[in-house]
């Protein structure tokens, strides 16, 4: 396999060799190159940006703009269409704020909380017709045919949905959905958090109006993310007000904002996080999505060989999605045991999984009758031995609970 021995490039796994980490849907591990760049900033270049005429301030300012370019290149987008945020949650809240006057908003039932609550806060509900919720089929996808019919019924609505569900683990048929939305005058925001570490989002091909992503789910730092806007940022009023966003202003209310993404990046930014995010995006491009996909397919095969999908007490949600794509999220329902009890015993074995409603309450409640799920999420650093240890620990927990 192309990515053999890559586990040692992720410090937490290297420094905790007994840790078996299957919680990448919550947070991927951070690559060593990302940490190296962030440490270099704190140890050798600690300063503020966009403000100083001295050497390290100019250099780090330039490096932050290089990071913007690195993220843009990952999306095959123009640099001035990318702004930095504190994470995908802030990006989704910004998009919701900018489109608060949309007559109708269309989401899916498999959305993360961050793409539901901002819309509910605007007083939108399915009952008052201002919120339309697309169902997902048994395989875990939004049915494109059904989406097209909804788009025809609600032209000029706004649509925001996850390109890949953090519960169902499959990636939607994005091109057809987006193009159909645009045919009906509907702008689209993609929550790409669960996608970008394994599937390319090509903005020049898909033409999403917005894309949000978070560093901690793409081998980068926590507390940093980005928002891509196809039409740029000058058309929107600033989401936050503060220093670093204006050319000039006075007490008479005359304010001249910067153009482009800087208009919205108020205050001192998460400089180390920005630098780390840029390196993470560049590293994904360096490894390549083809190699990542092949690695994930190998890991899924190892899980199957180890018997994960044959444990009678775990029922895989949307089984038909297995092996159909380079998938790295596998959610199970449990009838006899509570998922939290199994997870607790796995934790004693230093095996990390995730249980509960995983910030996606509607879809989890639907598939588990409110009980919560048992989620195994892989990534390129998982090994065959990890897969075997996971299944061994699950069986050990089941025997203790029986």
pLDDT tens-digit series, residues 337-365: 999 999 999 999 999 999 999 999 999 99
Q: What is the DSSP string of 272-287?
A: HHHHHHHHHHHHHHHH
Burial class (CB in 10 A: 0-12, 13-18, 19+), 384: middle
Examine the fold and report which residue of 252, 287, 322 is the final residue of a domain before the chain moves on.
Answer: 287
Residue 194 or residue 3, greater confidence: 194
Q: Is residue 1 part of a domain?
A: no
Q: Which pLDDT score, from 0 to 100, does residue 140 have?
A: 86
Share of the chain above pLDDT 70, in %: 98
Q: How many angstroms separate the Cα of 12 from the Cα of each of 16, 33, 44?
A: 6, 13, 23
Backbone conformation region of residue 193, classed left if phi is above 0, alpha if psi is from -120 to 50, else beta: alpha
For all residues of the chain together, what is the average pLDDT?
95
Q: Is residue 38 part of a domain?
A: yes
Domain count, the chain: 2
Question: 173 lies in which domain range?
Answer: 34-287
Q: Is residue 254 part of a domain?
A: yes
For residues 215, 218, 222, 225, the Cα torsion angle rounded to the nearest 10 degrees is 10
What the block records as the tokens of 277 is 């995010």
The DSSP letter of residue 84 is E
Q: What is the DSSP string of 323-357?
A: TSS---EEEEEESSS-HHHHHHHHHHTTEE-EEE-
Domain match, 317 and 267 both: no
Q: Residue 44 above 60 pLDDT?
A: yes
Give the residues across from 330 on adjacent strands.
376
Active site residue 47: no
Domain match, 220 and 312 both: no
Q: Which pLDDT score, from 0 to 100, does residue 242 have?
A: 93
Q: Is residue 280 part of a domain?
A: yes
3-state secondary structure of 214: strand
What the block records as the tokens of 36 is 């190296």
In 10 A of CB 237, how many CB atoms? 11
Examine the fold and report which residue of 234, 266, 287 is the final residue of a domain before the chain moves on.
Answer: 287
SS3 content of the chain, % helix, strand, coil (to 5): 45, 15, 40
* Active-site hit among 159, 326, 359, 387: 359
Q: Which pLDDT score, from 0 to 100, does residue 329 have?
A: 95
CATH of the domain at 396: 3.90.1150.10
Domain match, 321 and 385 both: yes
Q: Which pLDDT score, from 0 to 100, does residue 51 have?
A: 83
pTM here?
0.96
3-state secondary structure of 34: helix
3-state secondary structure of 81: helix
Q: Residue 1 above 50 pLDDT?
A: no
């Amino acid at each position: 396999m192309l990515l053999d021995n890559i586990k040692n490039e992720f410090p937490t796994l290297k420094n905790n060799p007994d840790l078996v980490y299957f919680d990448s849907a919550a947070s991927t591990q951070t690559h060593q190159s990302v940490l190296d760049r962030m440490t270099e900033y704190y140890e050798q270049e600690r300063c503020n940006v966009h403000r100083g005429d001295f050497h390290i301030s100019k250099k780090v300012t330039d490096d932050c703009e290089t990071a913007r370019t690195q993220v843009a290149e990952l999306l095959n987008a123009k640099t001035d269409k990318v702004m930095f945020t504190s994470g995908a949650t802030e990006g989704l809240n910004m998009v919701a704020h900018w489109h608060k006057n949309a007559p109708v908003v269309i989401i899916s039932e498999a959305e993360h909380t961050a793409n539901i609550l901002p819309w509910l806060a605007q007083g939108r509900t399915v009952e008052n017709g201002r919120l339309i919720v697309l169902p997902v089929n048994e395989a875990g996808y939004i049915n494109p045919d059904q989406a097209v019919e909804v788009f025809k019924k609600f032209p000029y609505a706004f649509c925001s949905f996850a390109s890949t569900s953090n519960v169902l683990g499959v990636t939607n048929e994005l091109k057809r959905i987006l193009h159909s939305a645009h045919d009906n005058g509907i702008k689209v925001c993609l929550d790409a958090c669960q996608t970008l570490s394994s599937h390319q989002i090509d903005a020049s091909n898909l033409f999403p109006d917005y894309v949000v992503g978070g560093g901690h789910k793409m081998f980068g730092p926590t507390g940093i993310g980005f928002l891509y806007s196809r039409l740029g940022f000058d058309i929107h009023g600033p989401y936050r007000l503060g220093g670093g966003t204006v050319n000039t202003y006075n007490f008479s209310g005359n304010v001249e904002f910067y153009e482009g993404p800087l208009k919205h990046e108020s205050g001192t930014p998460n400089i180390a996080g920005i630098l780390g995010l840029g390196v993470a995006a560049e590293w994904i491009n360096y490894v390549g999505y083809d190699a990542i996909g092949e690695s994930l397919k190998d890991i899924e095969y190892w899980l199957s060989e180890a018997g994960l999908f044959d444990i009678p007490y775990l029922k895989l949600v949307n089984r038909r999605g297995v092996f159909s794509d380079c998938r790295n999220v596998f959610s199970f329902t449990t009838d006899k045991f509570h998922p939290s009890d199994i997870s607790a015993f796995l934790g004693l074995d230093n095996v990390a999984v995730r249980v509960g409603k995983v910030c996606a309450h509607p879809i989890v409640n639907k598939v588990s009758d409110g009980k919560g799920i048992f989620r195994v999420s892989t990534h390129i650093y998982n090994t065959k031995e990890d897969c075997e240890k996971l299944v061994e620990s699950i069986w050990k927990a089941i025997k203790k609970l029986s």
